[in-house]
Amino acid sequence: MSSARPIATTRSAAGMPTGRLAVWWVIASEIVIFGGIIASYVMYRLAHDAFAESAAHTATWIGATNTFILLTSSLFAVLGHKAAEHGDGPKAARMLHLTALGGLCFLLLKSYEWTMEITHGFTITASTFWSFYYTAAGLHALHVAVGILIMLIVAQTAKRNLELHRVELIGLYWHFVDIVWIFLFPLLYIAK
Amino acid sequence: MAETIPVGHAPEHAHEHHEPGFVAKYLWSTDHKMIAMQYLFTGSAMALLGGFFAYVFRSQLAFPGMSVPGFGLVSPNEYNALITNHGAIMIFWFAMPVLIAAFGNFLIPLMIGADDMAFPKINRLSYQIFLLSVLVLFVSFFVEGGAFGGAWTMYPPLSATAEYNQTPLGTTLFVTAVALEFVAFLMGGINFVVTAMNSRAPGMRMYDIPIVVWMIVLASIIFMASVGPLVAGAVMLLFDHNLGTAFFDPKRGGDPVLWQHLFWFFGHPEVYVVLLPAVGIVAEIITVFARKKLFAYKTVLYTAFGTGVLSFTVWAHHQFIAGIDPRMANVFTITTLLISVPVAEMMFVYIATLYGGSITLETPMLWALSFIATFLIGGVTGIFLGASGTDIYLHDTYFVLAHFHYTFVPIAVIGTFAGVTFWFPKMFGRMLDDRLGKIHFWGTVIPFNLIFIPLFVLGVAGEHRRIWDFTQFPELSAPWMRDLDKLATLSLWVMLSFQIVFLVNFFWSLRRGPKAPKNPWASNTLEWTADSPPPHGNWKELPTVYRGPYEYSVPGREQDYWPQNVPN
Ligand code: HEM
Ligand SMILES: [Cu+2]
């Protein structure tokens, strides 16, 4: 019947659970999206020395703090996965809540940073560097926000010991978002 | 299991609108076959719209100043909007939804022996997002300023900078519609790839997968790998257009050629995204109607894979006159000429398959054979455009236009008709009329050539594309040129009117056609072991696979085919 899960969902001819396989493909398709914007940025950066001057106005300490926050949140995602593997749904949910909290701190700090910069006149139209800055980091922040949302949904079911495999899947996605930031941080803040 | 639900029978049950559950059954279904039908019907309707646009602007070109019946006088701005939306619709809203989404959805689970897609709900969602993109595109036709007219390639500054762009809202909606379409196909593509990798029937090894499934999977992967930069580019374009950034504005430090790189890094592989499913459909058909094993199954796969990889290395052949470094032009000339090798090779594998086969010329086979013939012309004329020296002369003339229609029309139009006529019995449980099918075939293929051969000639003679009225240029108004222009347009009218034969055949057969047996073509692949049309869940008992899909005319067997699910 249509309400039951199709057998196609549970088969595993490639030897990897279907959900995990799908998340890897999602990540692959996201890599090329960020790849496109990062490659464009690098080309412009190499061609225009003026970028360095603009980049000097970014708040490196905020970027660094945010990197630290994101990395820590990823650690909680790992702990959540471990708890889920042991069948401890409530603990996995707690860990996911901590991960989401990290994401939230990241976004709050980012909003503070952007407000500062915009009030200093560094808006998205100030120069091509700032256009890239807001576009790339904005796209990333959007991914953080979506990740938080999904994380809360997964935590909700995990708490009742349901669908525990999803804890790993959202964790994979979160690490990816984390790694994108690891690329953006030096490119936007350090390469001055 | 409700085995009598005639999934895929939407038109037949159109009179049952009041029946409760209509929405659940036809609009909100997660059944892969129902979603395939939704893509098939939406995509075909869009093809009719794109064809109508072609009719309008071709009529304008042949008879300038004439009021086009059904449309009226065509102003220059309307002309631009019409060609833009014709191109975009044909590629994004017809070729992709039909060739990849409709056939992928219908065939993948049935051919690998699964009861559905791996993620049925995501499958439904991807169709809904696709439908949303169609609606956004429709809205863009009617907003203030009019529809976007900057060509399907959306080059800035026309598409980005306010001072050149007179269709602000239309542009935003157009780019948004394309972006939504990409999201839908990313979701759908991931579903296809994961399903084909993981949900195969017991016993089905890598090389037991039918070619068409492989091709749709490879196409989905190429799409996924190429579209990312353009998604990023689309965001940047929308920001340029609406927020005043200057990514592509040279006056303020941007670079319009960056857009061309991002666009064609996607745009060229996109040709292979739509090509590969068509090539796969043709492979299925010629083996069945030649009763022969595919000449070189693995070679076709490897070359398809090689073509996919190579397709990422040729994009700058679209920029030979955009001011790129001539040394770079040399590199891209070489990669472009290289890519014709694997593609030609696939065609020769097919010809080798036909060689010595016992060929029967039923309608699907006619389409498949004409695919090979017309696509070869497209490929050969591509050589002239891949070499930077000749392209500098031919760039943006009707020669280019004729070349890519000689690739796209076989892919999208011929490939679709081949697939639909072949799988119609499985999709709807009834047979099409073969005689009407043949009338439609000749009524399509002959005028098709009469449209585009003249355009090759006119292109070499200097007719530039994206021009509203050639009679304004005395050097393009020689009587023989005007005559060829009229021949092309009249042939288009003929070709379009013959589509009515197909529509009649399709809808008549849907209700009145003779009932189709399970396996009318005596084919090996798994979909023919399910009922026609297959019920929800496809089989009562899912099949097991014992061999590859192309075991035809095996010596020593009393039948000339040996289905994949029959134990030894
Ligand atoms: C058989 C009927 C068709 C006719 C007569 C036709 C004719 C034309 C013409 C005259 C133009 C361009 C006009 C110009 O640049 O001034 C054009 C553009 C285009 N067509 Fe077609 N076409 C047909 C079918 C198709 C199909 C089936 C596809 C693809 C699947 C397609 C894809 C395109 C594309 C991508 C463009 C470029 C649009 C642009 O420049 O923005 N066409 N077509
Ligand atoms: Cu190309």
DSSP per-residue codes, B468-498: S-GGGSGGG--HHHHHHHHHHHHHHHHHHHH
Nearest CA owner, ligand 1 atom 33: B87
| Chain centroid, CA A101 distance in Å | 13
Helices (H), B13-153: 22, 32-62, 76-88, 103-112, 120-141
Nearest CA owner, ligand 1 atom 35: B87
* Distance, CA of B402 to CA of B374 (rounded, Å): 12
Q: Is residue B135 within 8 Å of B224, Cβ to Cβ?
A: no
Q: Which of A132, A157, A162, A168 is nearest to A51 (CA)?
A: A132
Q: Give the distance from residue A35's alpha carbon to the nearest chain B alpha carbon, in angstroms.
A: 7
* Distance, CA of B152 to CA of B174 (rounded, Å): 10
Cα of first residue to Cα of last residue in chain B, in angstroms, is 30
Instruction: Give the three-class secondary structure for B20.
Output: coil
| Chain centroid, CA B148 distance in Å | 22
What are the two backbone dihedrals, phi and then psi, of residue B538, each rounded to the nearest 5 degrees?
Answer: 70, -55
Cα of first residue to Cα of last residue in chain A, in angstroms, is 60
Mutating to test ligand 1, I would choose from B59, B79, B86 the residue with most ligand atoms within 8 A of its C-beta, which is: B86
Q: Do B232 and A40 touch (CB under 8 A)?
A: yes
Q: Which of A166, A151, A159, A179 is nearest to A76 (CA)?
A: A151
* Distance, CA of B455 to CA of B457 (rounded, Å): 5
* Distance, CA of A123 to CA of B253 (rounded, Å): 16
Distance B86 CA to ligand 1 centre (A): 6
Q: Return per-residue pLDDT of chain B as tens, 568 residues.
A: 333 333 333 443 444 444 557 787 778 899 999 999 999 999 999 999 999 999 999 999 999 999 999 999 999 999 999 999 999 999 999 999 999 999 999 999 999 999 999 999 999 999 999 999 999 999 999 999 999 999 999 999 889 888 888 899 999 999 999 999 999 999 999 999 999 999 999 999 999 999 999 999 999 999 999 999 999 999 999 999 999 999 999 888 899 999 999 999 999 999 999 999 999 999 999 999 999 999 999 999 999 999 999 999 999 999 998 888 888 899 999 999 999 899 889 999 999 999 999 999 999 999 999 999 999 999 999 999 999 889 999 999 999 999 999 999 999 999 999 999 999 999 999 999 999 999 999 999 999 999 999 999 999 999 999 999 999 999 999 999 999 999 999 999 999 999 999 999 999 999 999 999 999 999 999 999 999 999 999 999 999 999 999 999 999 998 999 999 999 8
Largest CA distance in chain B: 75
Q: Give the distance from residue B19's alpha carbon to the nearest chain A alpha carbon, in angstroms.
A: 19
Q: Do B224 and A34 touch (CB under 8 A)?
A: no
Written as six digits, the tokens of B357 are 């086969």
Q: Do B230 and A36 touch (CB under 8 A)?
A: yes
Distance B87 CA to ligand 1 centre (A): 5
Query: Cα–Cα–Cα angle for B443, B446, B452, nearest 5°?
Result: 125
Written as six digits, the tokens of B281 are 């459909």
DSSP for residue B561: B
Number of Cβ within a 10 Å radius of residue B556? 4
* Distance, CA of B180 to CA of B187 (rounded, Å): 11
* Distance, CA of B309 to CA of A39 (rounded, Å): 19
* Distance, CA of A98 to CA of B128 (rounded, Å): 34
Amino acid at B509: S
DSSP for residue B119: -
Residues of B in contact with A8 (CB under 8 A): 109, 114-118, 195, 199
Q: Do B228 and A26 touch (CB under 8 A)?
A: no
Instruction: For tokens 């990312």, name the residue.
Output: B228
* Distance, CA of B456 to CA of B382 (rounded, Å): 12
What are the two backbone dihedrals, phi and then psi, of residue B338, each rounded to the nearest 5 degrees?
Answer: -60, -40
**What predicted TM-score, i.e. pTM, was given to this entire model?**
0.93
The answer to whether ipTM exceeds 0.90 is: yes
Helices (H), B322-473: 326-354, 363-386, 388-394, 398-408, 415-428, 434-460
Q: Do A18 and B198 touch (CB under 8 A)?
A: yes
Distance B42 CA to ligand 2 centre (A): 27
Q: Is A7 on the interface with B (CB under 8 A)?
A: yes
Mutual angle of helices B211-242 and B103-112, in 10-degree steps: 150
The CB of B401 under 6 Å from ligand 1? The reply is yes
